[in-house]
Structure 1
Amino acid sequence: MLGEQDAETIVRPACPDGRSVNVADGVTDRRISGRGEQVLSVHGEDGAVPHTSLPTTPEQWRGYLSEYGELYLRTAGECDRDRFTGEQVAMCWLGFEPAAEQAVLTAERRLGVRFPPGFRAFLLASDGWSGVGGCIDELFPCENIAWFRDTFDGMGFIDLYAEKQGRESCDEYVAVFRHSLVIASGEDHWLLAPTAAGPDDEWPAYGFRPECGELNEFSTFAELFHASRETLGDE
């Protein structure tokens, strides 16, 4: 099982094609204060470390997603913006209606788990999301969340990395792929792993980038989502 990292990236042996693989708590220089208080820190140009509180409730997620949508539309190319309706652009809302509690419960029963609180709160704010930074096309609605091992892509990656069985990094990748839910896909995939839930019931989240063979670990779903915001450039 991959352990939590503290702003350090472990460079493991290349797998499976000879390139370096990074397993870390994020793609940026980030320091996590701990599971109890979800605070993300990034070094600014002047060396300062500003803090941004991450959303934990449906209400906080709706506010956060509204700001995220506005930033996405401001920084997106014309082709990306054309995917959205005039109403979505005007409202800066690239999500959907909140998931009903019953829809969340139905998905949890189907998958045999209870979603971590932060991800549950996200679904209760918007049942899925389109317009994500990086190489993700969409976050899935409740009905499309699945075990990665049961998807076509997941089975393919498990077989690919299992061929290199015995390499520590490859074995860890296979373990994550077999025991994680896939919650978002595109060229990349976002995963949630219930096998290492913390004392607050949050699960580790992973961003898998097949093109470069990177599996980046985050302490929570909210931290993974926020890292995608940083790829949008800024303001």
Structure 2
Amino acid sequence: MKIHEWEPFLRTWSAERDAAGRTGDPARPPFGRLGFDPAAPEAIAALETRLGAPLPPSYRAFLEVTDGWRWAGEFVELLAPAAEVGLLREMTASAHEELTLWEAEDLDEAAYEDGEEEDEGEDGDEEGEREEYESARWNRAVQISLAGDQTWLLLDPGDIGADGEWAAYRYSSWSGSGPVRHGSFADLMRAEYAGFRALRIPGAAS
């Protein structure tokens, strides 16, 4: 999405979230705007310096419209402003460990299906080897959400499409289904918006 596409999309999301929040209680004060003022060019430049790479187009355009976002879907309460975006392994060590373990288990399963024997620790416990596993993907993952129901939104600067977009993930530790990959930040936000509408707006089209 470009700037001119983000603005109507986010305005619609804000209005629908506000209306859904007042269903059955017309006297409730308006939920209000979900977004914030645009990120300053200096803040975006500083983020790119910290990450050591230009931001993907749809995420950069989003920050140029709003420096963060409230209620991205139903389980993410706050997307971070540019100044608070950072590496997952430094911001939320527990989620980093969970995702690393998930990836290691996937590799174990793939090896088993290929007919390879699983590595075991000294006591016959495969966890002995898994504890030392490091994931390049989750070590470099960028956390762009700050608060949520054990749910995190992430970008992968090592998985870049021909259009310059980074792969984006939503991970909910309670889901039991692992991280969900999207081709871009814009695709991730569209999915979060669709999830909000499915839960909050009766009869909404997907």
**Structure 1 length normalisation: TM-score?**
0.64
Name the structure 1 match of 2:159.
196
Name the structure 2 match of 1:41.
none
Looking at CA atoms only, which structure, 1 or 2, has the larger radius of gyration? 2
Q: How does 1:61-80 map to 2 (within 5 A)?
A: 61-76=6-21
What is the letter of the counterpart of residue 143 of structure 1? A
Structure with bigger helix share is 2
Q: How does 1:139-154 map to 2 (within 5 A)?
A: 139-152=79-92, 153-154=94-95
One of 157, 160, 166 as aligned partner of 2:98 = 157
Unaligned runs of at least 5 residues, structure 1: 1-55, 79-84
Question: Is the CA contact (8 Å cut-off) linking 2:151 and 2:171 kept in structure 1?
Answer: yes
C-alpha distance in 2 between matches for 1:217 and 1:173:
20
One of 129, 142, 145 as aligned partner of 1:181 = 142
Question: Is the CA contact (8 Å cut-off) linking 2:145 and 2:154 kept in structure 1?
Answer: yes
1:192 Cα offset (Å) = 0.6
Flag the 1:188–1:109 CA change in 2: closer, same or farther, 3 A: same
C-alpha distance in 2 between matches for 1:112 and 1:168:
34
1:168 Cα offset (Å) = 5.2
1:177 Cα offset (Å) = 1.8
Report the secondary structure of 1:211's partner residue. coil
Q: How does 1:41-80 map to 2 (within 5 A)?
A: 56-76=1-21
Flag the 1:191–1:173 CA change in 2: closer, same or farther, 3 A: farther
C-alpha distance in 2 between matches for 1:229 and 1:107:
25
1:114 Cα offset (Å) = 1.2
1:176 Cα offset (Å) = 2.9
| 1:116 and 2:80 correspond | no
Aligned residues: 170
Unaligned runs of at least 5 residues, structure 2: 24-28, 111-129
**Structure 2 length normalisation: TM-score?**
0.72
Report the secondary structure of 1:204's partner residue. strand
CA RMSD, aligned part only?
A: 2.8
One of 175, 192, 198 as aligned partner of 1:228 = 192
Deviates more, 1:176-185 or 1:97-106: 176-185
Name the structure 2 match of 1:128.
68
What is the letter of the counterpart of residue 58 of structure 2? G
1:76 Cα offset (Å) = 3.3
C-alpha distance in 1 between matches for 2:71 and 2:57:
23
Question: Is the CA contact (8 Å cut-off) linking 1:173 and 1:215 kept in structure 2?
Answer: no
Name the structure 2 match of 1:30.
none
